[in-house]
Amino acid sequence: MRMPRGGARFVISFLALPIIIYVIFVIAPYLQAFYLALTDWKGITASPKFVGFKNFEVLFSDSVFWKAVLHHGILLLVLPLVTLIIALFFAFLLNMGAGTKGVRGSRFYQAVFFFPQVLAVAVIGVLFQAMYRPDKGGVLNGLLDLVGVEPIGWLTKPNLALWMLIAVLVWQAVGFYVVLFAAGMASIPKEIVEAAQLDGCSKGRMFFQVTLPLLWDTMQVAWVYLGIAAFDGFAIVQVLSVDRGGPDGSTTVLPLEIWRNAFTFSKYGYASAMGVALFVLSLTFAVLTLRVTRRERIEY
C-alpha cells in the first residue's frame, strides 16, 4: 500500500522532535561515554588526555570488576527465574487459569502485590534494615529468637549478604509481573479454556499447555527486563549493603563501582570504561535472549 502524497512529510514532522530529543539525551551521552573511556579524564580538565585502550587493560585485570561481574551473573540466573516463577504462580491463582475473570477480590490482591513498585528505594531500605537487623530487634532475628536461634548477621556475612539483597529485589519486582501476567491470562479467550476443559485438561496441564504458550511473548519481554535489572541493582546495594558493596565487596555491582570511581576517586575515564563494559554486557544479554527464546507467534 502506497503512502498518500505528503504522508511521509506528515510522519517525519511528528517524529522529528522525539528523534532529536532522543539523540541529544540518549545517543549523545552514550557516544560521550565511549570517548571518555579512551581518556584519563579526572572531571576537571577541559581537554582530557587520550590513552587509547589503557582503561580497558586495567579494567580486565581488576579483581573488583570481575567480582562485580560474578555478582551480576548470579543475579542474572536467580532474579529473573525466581521472580517469574513466583509471579506466574500468583497470577495463575488469581485468575484460576487462563481466560477466566479471576477469583473474588483479584483486583485488590493485584494492588497489594503491586504496592512495592510504588515505594521509593529509600523507604524499601528502611523497611529491610529493620527486617535484617543483626540483633534481636530485627524482624527476622526476633522470630528466630522465639525458637531459640541465635541472631544472624544477614547483611554482615559475606556468603549471605548478596542473597539477602536478591530477596529484596525479588520482593520489589514480583508485584509488577503478577499484574502483567494476570492481565495476559485474563485476555486469553474463554473459548480456548472451555475447549481444553472439555478435553479433560486439568489445571496443571492447562497451565503448561495453554497458559504458558499463549503468554510466551509476555514472558520473553519480562525476562529481558528482569535481566537488565540484574545488571543494575545500584540503589538497593547502595542503601542496604554494609559499607556500600560490602562486606569485603561481597555485594558490589558494576553501577556501584562506576559511581565510586567517578564520584569518589574522580576516575571518570575509568568509570566510563566500566560503563561501556556494562552497556556491552546488557546489550549482549538482551540480543541473545530475544534470539534464543524466539518462537512462532500464536495468534488467538
Q: How confident is the model at residue 85 (pLDDT cuts 50, 70, 90)?
A: very high
Give burial (CB, 10 Å; 0-12/13-18/19+) of 274: buried
Q: How confident is the model at residue 98 (pLDDT cuts 50, 70, 90)?
A: very low
What tens digit of pLDDT does each residue of 131-181 get? Answer: 998 888 888 989 888 888 888 989 999 899 999 999 999 999 998 998 888
Higher-scoring residue by pLDDT: 195, 250:
250
Please tell me the predicted confidence (pLDDT) of residue 296. 60
**Highest mean pLDDT, choosing among 74-83, 210-219, 227-236, 237-246:** 74-83
Q: How confident is the model at residue 101 (pLDDT cuts 50, 70, 90)?
A: low
Residue 67 makes CB contacts below 8 A (sequence gap 6+) with 249, 252
Q: Say which amino acid occupies 204.
A: G
8 A C-beta contact, residue 133 and residue 141: yes
Residue 180 makes CB contacts below 8 A (sequence gap 6+) with 87, 91, 218, 222
Cell 548470579 maps to which residue? 74
8 A C-beta contact, residue 87 and residue 181: yes
CATH number of 54-292: 1.10.3720.10
- The 3-state secondary structure of the chain reads CCCCCCHHHHHHHHHHHHHHHHHHHHHHHHHHHHHHCCECCCCCCCCCCECCCHHHHHHHCCHHHHHHHHHHHHHHHHHHHHHHHHHHHHHHHHHCCCCCCCCCCHHHHHHHHHHHHHCCHHHHHHHHHHHCCCCCCCHHHHHHHHCCCCCCCCCCCHHHHHHHHHHHHHHHHHHHHHHHHHHHHHCCCHHHHHHHHHCCCCHHHHHHHHHHHHCHHHHHHHHHHHHHHHCCCHHHHHHHCECCCECCCCCCCHHHHHHHHHHCCCCHHHHHHHHHHHHHHHHHHHHHHHHHCCCCCCCC
Average pLDDT (53-81) is 93
What tens digit of pLDDT does each residue of 260-296 get? Answer: 999 988 899 999 999 999 999 999 998 888 888 776 6
Which of 224, 221, 232, 222 shows the shortest CA–CA distance to 284?
Answer: 224
In sign, the C-alpha dihedral spanning 109, 114, 119, 121 is positive
Integer Cα distance of 157 and 113 in angstroms: 30
What tens digit of pLDDT does each residue of 5-49 get? Answer: 556 677 777 788 888 999 999 899 889 999 999 998 887 777 788
Q: How confident is the model at residue 97 (pLDDT cuts 50, 70, 90)?
A: very low
The yes-or-no verdict on residue 67 having pLDDT over 90 is yes
Average pLDDT (239-254) is 89
Which of 39, 34, 29 shows the shortest CA–CA distance to 269?
Answer: 39
Q: How far from 151 is each of 129, 154, 165, 242, 248, CA to CA, in Å? A: 14, 9, 18, 17, 21
Please tell me the predicted confidence (pLDDT) of residue 276. 93
Please tell me the predicted confidence (pLDDT) of residue 99. 46
The yes-or-no verdict on residue 102 having pLDDT over 60 is no
Please tell me the predicted confidence (pLDDT) of residue 233. 85
Average pLDDT (98-122) is 73
What tens digit of pLDDT does each residue of 170-186 get? Answer: 999 998 998 888 888 87
